[in-house]
Amino acid sequence: KNQVEQSPQSLIILEGKNCTLQCNYTVSPFSNLRWYKQDTGRGPVSLTIMTFSENTKSNGRYTATLDADTKQSSLHITASQLSDSASYICVVSAPMDSNYQLIWGAGTKLIIKP
Amino acid sequence: KAGVTQTPRYLIKTRGQQVTLSCSPISGHRSVSWYQQTPGQGLQFLFEYFSETQRNKGNFPGRFSGRQFSNSRSEMNVSTLELGDSALYLCASSQDRVTGELFFGEGSRLTVL
């Protein structure tokens, strides 16, 4: 069964610290893996999109890595800011018959404390 | 370039009523998808439309339906509302339905009393 699992479920860190969020998936084959940031009560915003051939992709203080062999991805946030408080969602796009599907993780809720 | 626009932003209905939500995608985007998000839960996929055709459908009862118009605008309808339908309904548009980035609207927050 195609699944995307994220850990930890929630995380609290102090402002200025770094953190790493994990995403494990059982989807195979897949087209791409995405990370989204969702502020409370708002729509998600795309951070990165990686195909299976890409190992790393950065977007400012956000760096995503992908290991297609172990089916793991991580999102590293450097020098966290209060505005980084949000849910971070990992999504895998996979072909399905003549169609495709997006498999969404449940997200990691990140809280940055001053 | 205008983003994805969802209307209304907030609405309150009572059980048994029906509701229609609207989504205007980014200009040039032909793929529109809908998601339901209940408090503390992840996004649950409802359906996706591309060029006026439903291409994907999630596991929701038939009370949930949608459509897309020739200008790519989309509507979703929920009939015979239940308390459990209270949620944030999000619409996303994309230029490429397989590899393209999803752009989300701010959502329509539905409360069913």
Q: What is the pLDDT of residues B51-67, one digit of tens each?
A: 999 998 999 999 999 99
Whether B100 has a pLDDT exceeding 80, the answer reads no
Closest chain A residue to B96, measured at CA: A100
8 A C-beta contact, residue A88 and residue A110: yes
Q: What is the pLDDT of residue B101?
A: 87
Which residue among B4, B56, B107 sits closest to A99, beta carbon to beta carbon? B56
User: What band does B1 get if pLDDT is binned at 50, 70 and 90?
Assistant: low
The tens digit of pLDDT for each residue in B90-99 reads: 999 998 877 7
**What percent of chain A is modeled with pLDDT above 90?**
78
User: Which residues from chain B sit within 8 angstroms of residue A105, using beta carbons?
Assistant: 42
> Tell me: the pLDDT tens digits for A52-87?
889 999 999 999 999 999 999 999 999 999 999 999
Q: Which among A81, A110, A114 has a CA at the least distance from the CA of A12? A: A110
Question: Is the Cβ pair A107, B42 closer than 8 Å?
Answer: yes
* pLDDT at B85 (0 to 100): 96
Measure CB to CB from residue A43 to each of B98, B101, B104 and give the nearest one: B104
Higher pLDDT, B20 or A27: B20
Q: Categorize the per-residue pLDDT at A5 as very low, low, confident or very high, splitting at 50, 70 and 90.
A: very high
Mean model confidence pLDDT for chain A: 93
Pair of tokens at residue A71: 């089916």
Whether residue A12 has pLDDT greater than 70: yes
Annotate chain A with DSSP letters as a single string. Answer: ---EEEE-SEEEEETT--EEEEEEE---S-SEEEEEEE-TTS--EEEEEEETT--EEEETTEEEEEETTTTEEEEEE-S--GGG-EEEEEEEEEEETTEEEEEE---EEEEEE-
User: Which residues on A lie below 8 Å from B41 (Cβ)?
Assistant: 106
The yes-or-no verdict on residue A95 having pLDDT over 90 is: no
- Examine the pLDDT at A29 and tell me if it is beyond 70: yes
Does any CB of chain B come closer than 8 Å to the CB of residue A101? yes
Mean pLDDT of chain B: 93
Which of helix, strand or coil describes residue B53?
Answer: strand
Q: 3-class SS at B84?
A: helix
Identify the pLDDT of residue A114: 96
Residues near A59 by beta carbon (within 8 Å), at least 6 away in sequence: A47, A48
Nearest-neighbour CA in chain B from A10: distance (Å): 12
